[in-house]
Amino acid sequence: MTFKLAASPHSHQRRTTQQVMRWVYVALIPGLLTLMYFFGWGVLWQLALAVSTAFVVEALSMRLRGRTIQSAWQDHTALVTAILLAISIPSLAPWWLIVIGTAFAIGVVKHVYGGVGQNIFNPAMAGYVVLLISFPVQMTSWPLPTQISQFELSFMDAASVIFTGFTPAGYDLEQLRMGADGLTMATPLDSLRTALNHQLTIGEALQQPIFGTLAGLGWQWVNLAFLLGGVVLIKQRIISWHIPTGMLLGLAVPAALAWLFAPDQSVSPLMHLLSGATMLGAFFIATDPVTAATSNRGRLYFGLLVGFLVFVIRTWGGYPDAVAFAVLLANMTVPIIDKYTQPVAYGHGGRS
Say if 212 falls within a structural domain: no
Say if 193 falls within a structural domain: no
Residue 179 is predicted with a pLDDT of 58
Kindly state whether residues 337 and 230 are assigned to the same domain: yes
Q: Which of 163, 178, 193 is the last residue of a domain?
A: 178
Say if 188 falls within a structural domain: no
Kindly state whether residues 232 and 319 are assigned to the same domain: yes
Residue 5 is predicted with a pLDDT of 46
Residue 276 is predicted with a pLDDT of 86
Range of the domain at 323: 223-342
- Is residue 81 within 8 Å of 21, Cβ to Cβ? no
Give the rounded percent of residues in the chain with a pLDDT score beyond 70: 82
- The pLDDT of 261-265, averaged and rounded, is 81
Kindly state whether residues 167 and 232 are assigned to the same domain: no
What does the mean pLDDT of the chain come to?
Answer: 84
Kindly state whether residues 60 and 144 are assigned to the same domain: yes
Distance CA 311, CA 251 (A): 6
Exposed / middle / buried, residue 28 (Cβ in 10 Å: 0-12, 13-18, 19+)? buried
Number of domains in the chain: 2
Say if 1 falls within a structural domain: no
Kindly state whether residues 162 and 49 are assigned to the same domain: yes
- Is residue 302 within 8 Å of 348, Cβ to Cβ? no
Kindly state whether residues 173 and 275 are assigned to the same domain: no
Say if 128 falls within a structural domain: yes
Digit-coded pLDDT (tens) for 16-70: 777 888 899 899 999 999 999 999 999 999 999 999 999 999 989 888 877 776 6
Say if 184 falls within a structural domain: no
Say if 326 falls within a structural domain: yes
Kindly state whether residues 72 and 171 are assigned to the same domain: yes
Q: Quick check: 182 pLDDT over 70?
A: no
Residue 283 is predicted with a pLDDT of 96
Q: Quick check: 9 pLDDT over 50?
A: no
Which of 101, 91, 94 is closest to 50 using CA atoms?
Answer: 101
* pLDDT band (50, 70, 90) for residue 345: low
Distance CA 125, CA 239 (A): 19
Q: Quick check: 228 pLDDT over 90?
A: yes
Kindly state whether residues 169 and 238 are assigned to the same domain: no
Kindly state whether residues 240 and 301 are assigned to the same domain: yes
Kindly state whether residues 97 and 170 are assigned to the same domain: yes
- pLDDT top residue among 336 and 117: 336
Give the CB-side neighbour count of residue 61, counting CA atoms within 13 A: 25
Say if 99 falls within a structural domain: yes
Kindly state whether residues 239 and 292 are assigned to the same domain: yes
Q: Which of 178, 204, 239 is the last residue of a domain?
A: 178
Q: Which of 125, 151, 178 is the last residue of a domain?
A: 178
Give the CB-side neighbour count of residue 239, counting CA atoms within 13 A: 29
Question: How far lies 137's CA from each of 133, 203, 216, 239, 261, in Å?
Answer: 10, 27, 21, 35, 34
Kindly state whether residues 48 and 106 are assigned to the same domain: yes
pTM above threshold 0.95: no
Which of 132, 158, 129 is closest to 146 using CA atoms?
Answer: 158
